[in-house]
Chains A and B, each alone.
Chain A
């Protein structure tokens, strides 16, 4: 424990002294078992692993030799529960409670548990060290990498890896203007969706007169399948907090809020603990590090509506009002929370700030692409071998993410599209796999960065069906205030449903396009104005699929049940009866050995079970 825990640090010198004393007490060659306690690994049984390790260490009286650290998510959730043995960084994957004894005894002996190593599916070879796993090798984990180096609830861990040094630097040697200048020069852009230049936003807020100024962290993260903000807040809350204090100093704000969704209990808990710890040490609260600067942070829990992630709705919700957007003709940086100048940034944006201040804008500016600097965290989900969280420099090619890091498409299937930018992002086709992933290139492709969701789709995906899925999601999440979004999404959903159910008619595509144009032009907030993206991008890249549904009443991917029929290719069918067993609807009849089976169209529910089970290609799907 930190000795001075009752004493607030009252100078940068005292802060430096504390850090030195923490580091001095640590042994860098100490063996440490790092277990991921992230949500993914917990779901896969990490709690058992943690308990088992504790027992093993206690049983063997190994406390002085082997320590245990439970951390946030390092990203490779696909292979969880994950255990890393430090300092060597040996990676064990899919570890279970039963494996604990073997790992502990091998670790003490200095040997390796071979059977728990990761096997590279491409080479068939085992990899011992974390950094050799292809999933990690091609990443640049400036933010996420630290998740394995700290226990989220121990501020000492964060201090030991250089935490709060950026804050100390800013407070002791930089004016607020210089901090803003540095962030501007670094080229940091908001990670919450729009990619707005962060320094410019801070400057506007700073230059606006007000009774006070508010600083907010947006941890609403409502996109389905996204969990990057959650993982940062759970795994390294101090990095977010440090960014906020630096921002508050630069902007001249004294009260901050972390708006976090209630479905993230661990993020809420860890943020609470972090705030308490930082206050105790004088890194938050009155007279931070003796600088005379005051800043406190409160946590506000959101009810979980997607639209509450939108800046004006979020602020309404923070004020205790209904979380509905308002027109932003006056920016929130001028008139936001309680009508005061307010600066809102995303979790990941805040977490980038200490990096920039500590290492300098020049260093930061070397990472990433021309217009998008630094790294970006993505959640890689869908039809991809390595599901998980990844962090890459901006500008990396899509195919490097999907094949290099993601390990390609499962079951050897063909890649079809990737949806980026969350529900109101767009679908990018195979022909654009070389696209460098940054704010501007994604925009040009008709999609967007959004907060960093990436959903991979394979050849068995129907793009009209996908567009319908996202439109339905947005229809359910629209606040309903403005006419174009509320009524427009309802109609869009109706038209898409008709198309996928065989009732599409000539003119539907044009109507979708006209409707989209009006949503973009007239919606009150960005939920409505970006909602047509899934429709417009699928129309742009997969128009033929729409046409097949409408004109030929055919679903090329065989997904839309109303447009698919299954039949038996009598030439190929030897009557093995596998499909008869697979059919849940008793629609297929066995006609005896060597005779083709018979499929009753009346009874067929078009589930495709026969198609999946037949290895001889005797089921025809049309």
Chain B
């Protein structure tokens, strides 16, 4: 265990944990968008920035990446942090002015309007979906393509992906609802910002309900070494 202070409050944390994790353990709020405990931290949105003082030097760091250390002094709020967070929020709001989640967070951080020209994106390129697809699902069907301002989230070459199993985890995890999916009849549709795909759903042998993408079930059967008929019935009709 290491001892540190956050906003003057004495805190203990496991070695190797990040400031963000330590703060959350202690109910100290730090805004964040691209962080999720299930996946590797990425450090892209920069909203989680905090001020640390170490060996007398003060600097701004991303708390989702910076690990706790003995004697570390952390401030999660200061004039400098607030000014920067507001500017980041203005940039985000200009990119996604019509996105509810972005508007809400902006409001929470005291930003009601942006000084910049308005675009109309939803995706803010936090790469949570990509990390979940890769690290949790184990598939890597989507990635960030192109560099810089042309960066976009998509399947390779914006074509239907041959490895995507249609599980929809990307849509679940997206903090700003930029990815959607819906099941219509026997088909699941997944809509990413720049392309979409369709998946056949499996019909339950007992109740005839379309309940999950065939590709996802095949993937689980293969990965877990289950019997080929393991998912013939939906969870409700299984004994």
Closest 7 CB pairs of A and B: A480-B151, A518-B87, A487-B91, A478-B148, A522-B46, A480-B148, A327-B65
- For window 5-36 of B, CB contacts with A under 8 Å fall at none
Majority secondary structure, B binding face: mixed
When the two chains form their complex, are residues B43 and A483 in contact, meaning their CB atoms are under 8 A apart? no
Chain B residues with CB below 8 A from A483, complex form: 44-46, 88, 91-92, 124-125
- For window 92-143 of B, CB contacts with A under 8 Å fall at 92, 94-95, 115-117, 124-125
- Distance of A261 from chain B, by nearest CB (Å): 16
Majority secondary structure, A binding face: helix
When the two chains form their complex, are residues A482 and B91 in contact, meaning their CB atoms are under 8 A apart? no
When the two chains form their complex, are residues A524 and B148 in contact, meaning their CB atoms are under 8 A apart? no
When the two chains form their complex, are residues A479 and B148 in contact, meaning their CB atoms are under 8 A apart? yes
When the two chains form their complex, are residues A480 and B87 in contact, meaning their CB atoms are under 8 A apart? no
CB contact between A518 and one of B84, B148, B150 (< 8 Å): that residue: B84
Chain A residues with CB below 8 A from B46, complex form: 482-484, 522-524
- Distance of B190 from chain A, by nearest CB (Å): 23
- For window 583-619 of A, CB contacts with B under 8 Å fall at none
- For window 54-105 of B, CB contacts with A under 8 Å fall at 60-62, 65-67, 80, 83-84, 87-88, 91-92, 94-95
When the two chains form their complex, are residues B66 and A329 in contact, meaning their CB atoms are under 8 A apart? yes
- For window 478-504 of A, CB contacts with B under 8 Å fall at 478-484, 486-491, 494
- Distance of A313 from chain B, by nearest CB (Å): 11
Question: A490's closest neighbor in chain B, by CB?
Answer: B149
When the two chains form their complex, are residues B149 and A494 in contact, meaning their CB atoms are under 8 A apart? no
Does B162 touch A at the CB level, under 8 Å?
no
What CA separation (Å) do A517 and B125 show in the bound complex?
22
What CA separation (Å) do A50 and B66 show in the bound complex?
58
1/0 per position for B182-225, CB-CB distance to A under 8 A?
A: 00000000000000000000000000000000000000000000
Chain A residues with CB below 8 A from B117, complex form: 491, 494
17 further interface pairs, Cβ-Cβ under 8 Å (given A475-B149, A491-B117): A305-B147, A327-B66, A329-B65, A329-B67, A475-B148, A479-B147, A479-B148, A480-B146, A480-B150, A480-B151, A481-B44, A486-B148, A486-B151, A487-B92, A517-B83, A518-B83, A521-B80
Chain A residues with CB below 8 A from B124, complex form: 483
Does A440 touch B at the CB level, under 8 Å?
no
Q: How many A-B residue pairs have CB under 8 A?
A: 94
Does B234 touch A at the CB level, under 8 Å?
no
When the two chains form their complex, are residues A518 and B61 in contact, meaning their CB atoms are under 8 A apart? no
- Distance of A335 from chain B, by nearest CB (Å): 12
Chain A residues with CB below 8 A from B49, complex form: 521-522
Does B144 touch A at the CB level, under 8 Å?
yes
Chain B residues with CB below 8 A from A326, complex form: 43
Q: Which of B147, B149, B151 has most A Cβ within 10 Å?
A: B147
Question: B80's closest neighbor in chain A, by CB?
Answer: A521
When the two chains form their complex, are residues A477 and B148 in contact, meaning their CB atoms are under 8 A apart? yes
When the two chains form their complex, are residues B44 and A522 in contact, meaning their CB atoms are under 8 A apart? no
Question: B18's closest neighbor in chain A, by CB?
Answer: A329
When the two chains form their complex, are residues B148 and A482 in contact, meaning their CB atoms are under 8 A apart? no
1/0 per position for A432-452, CB-CB distance to B under 8 A?
A: 000000000000000000000
Question: B114's closest neighbor in chain A, by CB?
Answer: A491
Question: B69's closest neighbor in chain A, by CB?
Answer: A329
Does A143 touch B at the CB level, under 8 Å?
no
Interface extent on B, as a size class? 20 to 34
Chain A residues with CB below 8 A from B95, complex form: 487
- Distance of A501 from chain B, by nearest CB (Å): 14
- Distance of B39 from chain A, by nearest CB (Å): 15
When the two chains form their complex, are residues B147 and A480 in contact, meaning their CB atoms are under 8 A apart? yes
Does A476 touch B at the CB level, under 8 Å?
yes
- Distance of A2 from chain B, by nearest CB (Å): 46
When the two chains form their complex, are residues B43 and A521 in contact, meaning their CB atoms are under 8 A apart? no
Question: B86's closest neighbor in chain A, by CB?
Answer: A518
Does A511 touch B at the CB level, under 8 Å?
yes
When the two chains form their complex, are residues B87 and A514 in contact, meaning their CB atoms are under 8 A apart? yes
Chain B residues with CB below 8 A from A507, complex form: 115
When the two chains form their complex, are residues A521 and B84 in contact, meaning their CB atoms are under 8 A apart? yes
Contacts A511-B115, A522-B60 given; indicate if A489 touches B149 (C-beta within 8 A): yes
Chain B residues with CB below 8 A from A518, complex form: 83-84, 87-88, 91
Does A515 touch B at the CB level, under 8 Å?
yes
What CA separation (Å) do A486 and B67 show in the bound complex?
25
What CA separation (Å) do A116 and B161 show in the bound complex?
65
- Distance of A222 from chain B, by nearest CB (Å): 13
CB contact between B87 and one of A475, A490, A515 (< 8 Å): that residue: A515
What CA separation (Å) do A489 and B150 show in the bound complex?
12
Contacts A487-B94, A491-B116, A515-B87 given; indicate if A478 touches B149 (C-beta within 8 A): yes
Chain B residues with CB below 8 A from A517, complex form: 83-84, 87
What CA separation (Å) do A514 and B80 show in the bound complex?
12
29 contacts between A and B (CB under 8 A): A326-B43, A327-B43, A327-B66, A475-B148, A475-B149, A476-B148, A477-B147, A477-B148, A479-B147, A479-B148, A480-B146, A480-B150, A480-B151, A482-B45, A483-B44, A483-B125, A484-B91, A487-B91, A487-B92, A488-B91, A489-B149, A507-B115, A514-B83, A514-B87, A521-B60, A521-B80, A521-B84, A522-B46, A522-B49
1/0 per position for B148-159, CB-CB distance to A under 8 A?
A: 111100000000
What CA separation (Å) do A305 and B125 show in the bound complex?
20
What CA separation (Å) do A483 and B62 show in the bound complex?
12
Question: A523's closest neighbor in chain B, by CB?
Answer: B46
Question: B152's closest neighbor in chain A, by CB?
Answer: A480
- Distance of B153 from chain A, by nearest CB (Å): 11
1/0 per position for A508-521, CB-CB distance to B under 8 A?
A: 00010011011001
